RNA sequence: GGCUCUUUGGUCAAGCGGCUAAGACGCCGCCCUCUCACGGCGGAAACACGAGUUCGAUUCUCGUAAGAGUCACCA
């Protein structure tokens, strides 16, 4: 059994979006689930489209997600170089080999001629197909043109009749009429190969067993097969994947910032949650479990779970899943990721920064209440600065409070705190809670009639992360008292 | 336009001839509760359409419709 080898072959022409990343993931998983190798190859045969920095994005994304390649740029194996522009001579050799075999031919048509062909084809409302003008050029003409240094390309000589069938691991057998196949260019006039040609040559030379790519290549795959056959090379297993969609009609594109992996990270999504979610977009495991680490996926991933139809990227579900990842994360790691953010909230508000123990409590308080890391500041801002609020907040039917009860309740609470220094000395949520329950009972009030007004006074918000006593603990005795007094003042007016 | 592919709830999806058609997100309700959240329980919600094949089709075949891809010296 041949060792499974897959490759991720991005072209450095833009930023890496979620769709690219998912392709890389599947390629990686197919290799790893079979104990194989995953390679990275850079397809930069189009010098005009090179984008500065795009390569770093590829490297960084793979690094951040833990998708490690076994061979590739900077990690040379036996099949290097792994950057196509550095393999120039290889393609030319193989293209000429194809010419010798009679499966390809030199074409000296000018761009102008092709242009006019194209426009007349378009006028007919049909797609463009090369008219094979140079397909049967006499040997001596070819030799003369070559000797004269006339620019040329090498085209694939498609069979004029019959059909070509290929098998795709997800789509099954697909058959097309050979006469619909264009004599596509293999080697461009600049001496570099086209994607279609470089791909086949490199995949063969690099021992790739599974070709994984978007299904937009489905229709050019017969041409690949013909190429493999002309060379007498073994045809790899094709795995075409349906695209990830932005909505019903549009593919996810890098245009829309949020489609990029790093944009999501910047918005507070965790790499492992993103990876987990996009893996499920277009692939489904055999059971009902949805949470997988990369390592676990390496064991359970199977090509048979890949789906044929496009999947719409649902940020809501990603957000939920990200929240689950946050909840399941161990506290230590969560704190290391968020303490800085928490501290910054106080600094930005020009408020006194609490000591690290309190900072940790704040972070942990918020841990089960956020879905993305970016939600933290908005959730805790009130701890730094008490927001202005409406007294209506004190009115709550279910808590059985209104303005009057709240005013009375806050006064009772204030008095009770002042009369009991022991509470101040043992200022923690549990103790405060027990103390206030007692206060409520003594005054013939329901727990909620003490706690709701307190939570309101202390936060100025209808909803907060944590209850009255948790917030009081974090704010500390002095600030809590200050806010209680402030509430009393508001209610007194 | 030619060729190719796709089609199960709003979304992701299981299903591979016989099921009350899974599960998840979202939504709604109830419970828990010092607010919110977490958690628990429950609910509404789908086989694009039409012919076949078959004792029986979501599942197989063929049409139709709707979407998508492709038809470059781009990948």
Which one of A118, A188, A251, A254 is the catalytic residue?
A: A254
Strands A37-40 and A5-8: parallel
Find the Å distance, CA of residue A2 to C1' of nucleotide B3: 34
Q: How far is the CA of A162 from the C1' of B3 (A)?
A: 14
* Closest nucleotide C1' to the C-alpha of A280: B12
Give A287-302 pLDDT, tens digit per residue: 999 999 999 999 999 9
**pLDDT surpassing 60 at residue A257:** no
Please enumerate in sequence order all residues whose Cβ is within 8 A of that of A441, keeping only pairs 6 or more positions apart, or say none: none
Residue bearing the bigger pLDDT, A432 or A123: A432
Protein-to-nucleotide distance from the CA of A431 to the C1' of B49, whole angstroms: 67
pLDDT given for residue A70 in this prediction: 98
DSSP designation for A240? E
A439: CB partners within 8 A, 6+ apart: A412, A413, A416, A445, A450
* A254: annotated active-site residue: yes
With beta carbons less than 8 A apart as the criterion, state whether A148 and A116 touch. no
Question: In this structure, what token pair is assigned to residue A366?
Answer: 């918020």
| Integer CA distances (angstroms), A189 to A8, A194, A200, A405, A487, in order | 27, 10, 19, 86, 79
* Residue A128 confidence (pLDDT) above 90: no
Residues A274 and A322: their CA atoms lie apart, in Å, by 7
The phi, psi pair for A472, rounded to 5°, reads -60, -45
pLDDT value at position A46? 77
CB atoms within 10 A of CB A136: 8
Nucleotide closest to residue A277 (CA–C1'):
B12
Nucleotides of B under 7 A from a protein CB: 1-8, 10-16, 22-26, 33-39, 67-75
Q: How far is the CA of A353 from the C1' of B55 (A)?
A: 78
The pTM (predicted TM-score) of the whole model is 0.95
Calculate mean pLDDT across residues A256-273. 88
Is the per-residue pLDDT at A256 higher than 90? no
Q: What crossing angle do the helices spanning A468-492 and A429-442 adopt, rounded to 10°?
A: 50
CA distances A186 to A87, A224, A444, A448, Å, are: 15, 11, 89, 77
Closest CA to A23 of A246, A286, A240: A240
Q: What percent of chain A has pLDDT over 70?
A: 97
- Judged by C1' against the alpha carbon of A396, the nearest nucleotide is B35
Average pLDDT estimate for A357-369: 97
Q: Is the pLDDT of residue A381 over 90?
A: yes
């Amino acid at each position: 059994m041949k060792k499974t080898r897959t490759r991720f072959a991005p072209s450095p022409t833009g930023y890496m979006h979620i769709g690219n990343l998912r392709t890389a993931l599947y390629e990686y998983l197919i290799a790893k689930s079979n104990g194989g190798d995953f390679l990275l190859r850079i397809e930069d045969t189009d010098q005009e489209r090179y984008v500065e920095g795009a390569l770093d994005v590829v490297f960084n994304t793979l690094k951040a997600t833990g998708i490690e390649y076994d061979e590739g740029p900077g990690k040379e194996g036996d099949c290097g170089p792994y950057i196509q522009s550095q393999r120039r001579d290889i393609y030319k050799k193989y293209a000429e080999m194809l010419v010798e075999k009679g499966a390809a031919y030199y074409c000296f048509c000018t761009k102008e001629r092709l242009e006019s062909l194209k426009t007349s084809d378009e006028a007919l409302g049909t797609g463009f197909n090369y008219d094979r003008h140079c397909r049967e050029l006499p040997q001596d003409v070819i030799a003369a043109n070559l000797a004269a240094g006339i620019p040329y390309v090498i085209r694939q000589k498609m069979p004029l009749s019959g059909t070509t069938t290929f098998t795709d691991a997800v789509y099954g057998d697909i058959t097309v009429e050979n006469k619909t196949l264009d004599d596509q260019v293999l080697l461009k006039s600049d001496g570099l190969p086209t994607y279609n040609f470089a791909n086949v040559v490199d995949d063969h030379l690099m021992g790739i067993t599974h070709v994984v790519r978007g299904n937009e290549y489905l229709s050019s795959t017969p041409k690949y097969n013909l190429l493999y056959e002309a060379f007498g090379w073994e045809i790899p297993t094709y795995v075409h994947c349906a695209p990830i969609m932005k909505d019903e009609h549009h593919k996810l594109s890098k245009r829309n910032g949020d489609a990029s992996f790093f944009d999501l990270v910047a918005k507070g999504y965790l790499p492992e949650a993103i990876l987990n979610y996009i893996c499920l977009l277009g692939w489904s495991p055999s059971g009902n479990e949805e949470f997988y680490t990369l390592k676990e996926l390496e064991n359970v991933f199977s090509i048979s779970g890949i789906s044929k139809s496009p999947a719409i990227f649902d940020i809501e579900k990603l957000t939920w899943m990200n929240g689950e990842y946050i909840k399941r994360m161990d506290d230590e790691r969560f704190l290391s990721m968020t303490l800085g953010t928490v501290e910054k909230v106080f600094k930005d508000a020009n408020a006194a920064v609490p000591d690290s123990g309190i900072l940790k409590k704040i972070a942990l308080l918020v841990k089960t209440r956020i879905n993305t890391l970016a939600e933290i500041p908005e959730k805790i801002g009130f701890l730094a600065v008490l927001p202005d609020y409406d007294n209506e907040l004190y009115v709550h039917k279910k808590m059985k409070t209104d303005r009057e009860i709240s005013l009375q309740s806050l006064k009772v609470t204030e008095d009770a705190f002042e009369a009991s220094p022991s509470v101040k000395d043992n200022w923690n949520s549990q103790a405060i809670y027990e103390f206030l329950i007692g206060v409520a009972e003594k005054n013939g009030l329901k727990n909620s009639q003490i706690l709701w007004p307190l939570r309101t006074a202390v936060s100025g918000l209808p909803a907060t992360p944590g209850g009255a006593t948790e917030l009081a603990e974090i704010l500390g005795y002095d600030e809590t008292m200050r806010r209680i007094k402030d509430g009393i003042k508001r209610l007194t007016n």
